[in-house]
Amino acid sequence: MSFLFIPFYIRFLGIESYGLVGVFLVLQAVLSILDLGLSTTLNRELARLSVQQQNAMEMRDAVRTIEIPYWALALFVGAILLLSTPYLASHWLKLDRLPSETATQALRLMSLAVTLQLPSSLYAGGLMGLQLQFHYNTVLAFIATFRNAGAVLVLWLLSPTIQAFFIWQCISALLQTFLMGAFLWRSLPKAPTPSAFHFHLLARLWRFSAGVGGISIFAVILTQLDKIILSRLLPLDLFGYYILASTVASSLNRVAGPIFNALYPRFSQLVAMGNMEELTLSYHKASQLMSVLVFPLVMILSLFSRQILILWTQDTKIAESTSLLLSLLIVGSALNALMHVPYALQLAFGWTSLALYTNFVAVLILGPLIYAMASLYGPVGAATVWVFLNTCYIFISLQIMHHRLLPDQKWRWYKNDVGKPLIIAISITILGKILSGYIFSPSFTLLLIISMYLTALLGSISFTPAVRGYLLNRLLGHHPLRYGHRKNRSRI
């Protein structure tokens, strides 16, 4: 939904005001570090406790124990943000035509929206721990429609101003948090006594939470530093172009995020049961699924970025200013998406130190590099560092992880889970790129892009045994292969 309505936002607000929407997205990402790993901790805790029925009281107490300090922290930080908005508007943003007063009002409203939405992450983590993906996705789909379609209607029918846009974001954020919380509490098993805050529970969970929180802090620095620096260096309209490319590239999170959400609690259960055979099989299945969903999409978006942006925005200037940025950012985001399944495996084992130390070293080295490249080469320099960072993750961090957790599965992951579908997707889309040079009609270009994507998708599926086997069984009317089915083991 957010992807679909971006051209309407730009049309109603203008590219400079859309730059403020980019600031809002950066603020959301930066303040996600206030989660401090608590949503991930609740996810793992509920997944672990749900293995046995008698843990109902402990599950409810765990939610209450984490919920109270979470809300307190969100409100405290929200108050600080509201007080600091005049400084940010006058000393940080480089405004051109937009009045300073308008920017200050927008910053206040976005601060309120972020504060109201932050606790929804905790409730979402709880729903994922209970493996209630349907409940979570139902709320998310409804809120996405309500937030984005509603914002367009408000801008169209009521007031085409940035203030009206952010007022609607505040309403949407409050509704999202309320619905997520209501679904989580209704889904928890019944207990004989009311839930209560227990300090000893918080003390027991703090080590894992601190590790995940440290990972999140460094990850936010690495993923948002380019935007923070560029928001200071670039005029707001040029920053809007970078945010546009970044938003499209982040669409891969719509693919990787749900896979992580589904697999992380499942991995946690298998680790708790000590079922390494099932865990290994699940790991390869999920990795192959990630490759199939990511590679065809990223190759199409990177090679046909200009054509897609023209078809999408109907604006040649936007396409020319954004296409190279999109190609670079989408490649980096694809590499980052591949890390989601290995990261879920690390968290399931409670092993946070690898990601923590990796991100810490990356911040020390790449933090100054991002600033230097962004200062020298602007948006393109910052996007190049994003590609370099995630390449290092794939070829360094994953080597260490496999050595400890799945020592005999490393090359199977590189060759079967990732290598084969990648080669197929690259080969097919490069052929499509060559053919596109002979096509001059926009309708035929769109048809070629869709055809190349579907062909690359089918080709990737054919070279991933787990995904291919699952789909064949569904098409043939057989019962889908469950985790651990013997028939698929030798082929994965």
- The contacts of residue 206 (CB under 8 Å, 6+ apart) are none
- Is 487 a residue whose pLDDT tops 60? no
Mean pLDDT, all residues of the chain: 82
Is the pLDDT at 491 greater than 70? The verdict is no
CA distance 129 to 44: 6
Q: Is the pLDDT of residue 489 over 60?
A: no
How many other C-beta atoms lie within 10 A of the C-beta of residue 277? 11
**Taking a C-beta distance cutoff of 8 angstroms, is the pair 177, 78 a contact?**
no
Element counts in the chain: helices (H) and strands (E): 21, 0
Q: Quick one: average pLDDT of 348-353?
A: 84
Q: Cα(407)–Cα(276) distance, rounded to whole angstroms?
A: 12
Q: What is the signed CA dihedral for 325, 327, 329, 333, rounded to 10 degrees?
A: 170
5: its two tokens: 């309505």
Rounded mean pLDDT, 260-272: 84
Which has the minimum average pLDDT: 39-43, 155-159, 236-240, 281-285? 236-240
Alpha helices in 314-464 (DSSP H): 316-338, 340-348, 353-377, 379-392, 398-404, 410-412, 420-436, 442-462
For residue 4, the Cα-to-chain-centroid distance in whole angstroms is 17
At residue 438, the pLDDT reads: 64
pTM: 0.66
| CB-count exposure of residue 476 (10 Å: 0-12, 13-18, 19+) | exposed
Which pLDDT belongs to residue 255?
84
Structure tokens that stand for 253 in this block: 């999170």
Residues in Cβ contact with 2 at an 8 Å cutoff, skipping those fewer than 6 apart:
144, 147, 148, 247
What is the C-alpha separation between 95 and 484, in angstroms, rounded? 58
In whole angstroms, give the CA distance from residue 231 to residue 92.
8
CA distances from 24 to 8, 12, 113, 115 (A): 17, 17, 9, 12
